[in-house]
Chain A
Amino acid sequence: MIRSITRQKPEEELDQLLDGLGRVFIIGCGTCVTLTHTGGEPEVKAMKETLSNKGKLVTGEMVLPVACDNLTAEALKEYGEQIEQSDVLLIMTCAFGVQTIARQLEKMVVPALDTLFMGKETGVGQFDEICTQCGTCILGETGGICPVTSCHKGLVNGPCGGTSNGKCEIDSEKDCAWTLIYSRLKELNRLDSMRKMQKPRNHHGEPSPGKFKLSA
């Protein structure tokens, strides 16, 4: 399953963001951030304690089932009064959740997390970015391994000169994407694919910000 991968902001940054805002309502999420231990029930409780120790008044806290879901509007209503009493909503979800909530309420929002990437759980507690949603998929020519995402330079025409023992020049712990692609294509007897000239990427394939509407 795809997960939104997040990291808690440094304490000093949060202190600055909450400076002068005495009454805080905390919102977590039961999905991705629960899995990554950045905004689930225990983290929300810990945040409540931290803020209380700093002299903030926590008017309430809740963990939404799925913060980015449209039902969030309904769930928030249950806490209407506590939310109303607060100066700010401290939101321990990914930025999708933060924005979903911000659209529902006329309240100042402060994200407690930084949103890093859309990741896939590839092992216990291990999340990897395997797709950057570039809009111009070439997986059919790279043995199902994405160089746009997995190569640190996003090279689409083969490796740079920095591969060392199958690892990337910038991180000896990280496999060189093109070595993986080469090995896979060799296994599949499809090395010819590496000869193909990939054209300069169509960055308009992922016009930023992306927008998509189902046709009637």
Chain B
Amino acid sequence: MSTRTPSKLEKILAAGHLAVTSECGPPRGSDPEAITRKAEMIKDYVDAINITDNQTSVTRLCSLASCIHLKKMGVEPTLQMVTRDRNRIALQSDILGAASFDIYNILCLSGDHQIFGDSPQGQNVFDIDSIQLIQTVRLMRDEGKFLGGDEIKRPPQMFVGAAANPFADPFEIRVPRLAKKIAAGVEFIQTQCIYNLEKFELWVKQARDRGLHEKVYILAGVTPFKSAGMAKYMKNRVPGMDVPDEVVKRMSGVPKEKQAQEGIDICVETIQRLKEVEGVKGFHIMAIEWEEKVPEIVERGGLYPRPKGIDN
């Protein structure tokens, strides 16, 4: 596929490499080192780093400022943007702000409902949804226009991503939902964490059957379990998450001190298996507050070294 933006991530995908992205959650404070320290650990092992946008609706340092810190380090950021907190004026304004720092990747999300976070009484904005945000970025980039129709001077140049959850139900609408995001203009997808490989492979197959794998780059999302407790928590408490019983059993079957390693092993095996699936174009490794393990996962997953000499 040809490229449309200066995004390094896009170039790597277009060149046919399996891409590797990861993510960092910003701190609940203003210390920039909380971000740069995490990024330092993983920057040589990934092509771009997502910065989450007040994930789980807990107030944190903003994604845009965090992305700028990455940019200053020479790391390629992916700006995550949720539609939960800002109306269309603020969203477009922040997109321009990011573009002014030459941030070239954006992930368009609706966002967790605010009831999960530290401000359950806050206004739930959702002026536009994730699909409309995808359309908005594409309009701003490709036509150089605001939603209101006016012209943008120096439009943003962003590679446009979105999330997909193959595991939420009803399952039969999950591929049509992907198709709708593609029709809206999405160019890459990062999926929900994958533990149920059969179901994920079925989802990719259905996407392939409709030719969708040639219209969008799908990055498979993986998250290593730190413990059997985390596996159980994700299975029972996290909405839209599918953790099969045998995975929980496998984590519980090893002594506590070895569970972290078992979690990494499962993650590596997942990558090795999914690398072979037609339509999977890379991996998004979400090592939640466990960034130091990303290098090991990337290396053992056979995804190291990362392509050199590809830049903005």
A positions within 8 Å CB-CB of B: 152-166, 169-170, 179, 182, 194-195, 197-201, 203
Write out the residue numbers on chain B whose beta carbons fall within 8 Å of the beta carbon of A200.
Answer: 88, 127-128, 132, 136, 147
- Cβ-neighbour of B168 out of A153, A159, A195, A199 (below 8 A): A159
Establish whether residues B169 and A160, one from each chain, have CB atoms under 8 Å apart when the complex forms.
no
CA distance A170 to B239 in the complex (A): 8
Write out the residue numbers on chain A whose beta carbons fall within 8 Å of the beta carbon of B130.
Answer: 157, 160
25 CB < 8 A contacts A-B: A155-B126, A158-B173, A158-B180, A159-B177, A161-B163, A161-B164, A161-B168, A161-B240, A162-B112, A162-B113, A162-B168, A163-B169, A163-B239, A164-B239, A164-B240, A166-B169, A169-B112, A169-B239, A170-B113, A170-B115, A194-B176, A194-B180, A197-B183, A200-B88, A200-B136
Q: A153-B129, A194-B176, A199-B132 are in contact. Are A169 and B240 (CB under 8 A)?
A: yes
Q: How far is the CB of A175 from chain B (nearest CB, A)?
A: 12
Write out the residue numbers on chain A whose beta carbons fall within 8 Å of the beta carbon of B135.
Answer: 197
Residues facing A in B106-132 (CB within 8 A) are: 110, 112-113, 115-116, 124, 126-132
Q: Is B21 an interface residue when CB atoms closer than 8 A count as contact?
A: no
Q: Is B50 an interface residue when CB atoms closer than 8 A count as contact?
A: no
Q: Which chain A residue shows the least CB distance to B167?
A: A161
Residues facing A in B134-153 (CB within 8 A) are: 135-136, 147
Establish whether residues B168 and A164, one from each chain, have CB atoms under 8 Å apart when the complex forms.
yes
Write out the residue numbers on chain B whose beta carbons fall within 8 Å of the beta carbon of A170.
Answer: 113, 115-116
The number of residues on chain B lying at the interface, defined by a beta carbon within 8 Å of a beta carbon of chain A, is 34
CA distance A153 to B128 in the complex (A): 10
B positions within 8 Å CB-CB of A: 84, 88, 110, 112-113, 115-116, 124, 126-132, 135-136, 147, 163-165, 168-170, 173, 176-177, 179-180, 183-184, 192, 239-240
Q: Is the interface of A mostly helix, strand, loop or mixed?
A: loop
Q: How far is the CB of A122 from chain B (nearest CB, A)?
A: 23
Write out the residue numbers on chain B whose beta carbons fall within 8 Å of the beta carbon of A201.
Answer: 127-128
CA distance A199 to B128 in the complex (A): 8
Q: A155-B110, A155-B126 are in contact. List 16 more A-B contacts (CB 8 A).
A: A152-B115, A153-B113, A159-B168, A160-B130, A161-B192, A164-B239, A166-B169, A169-B113, A169-B240, A179-B170, A182-B173, A194-B173, A197-B135, A197-B180, A197-B184, A203-B127
CA distance A170 to B112 in the complex (A): 9
Q: Which chain B residue shows the least CB distance to A162?
A: B239
User: Most chain-A CB neighbours within 10 Å: which of B115, B127, B173?
Assistant: B173
User: Most chain-B CB neighbours within 10 Å: which of A154, A165, A203?
Assistant: A154
Write out the residue numbers on chain A whose beta carbons fall within 8 Å of the beta carbon of B113.
Answer: 152-153, 162, 169-170
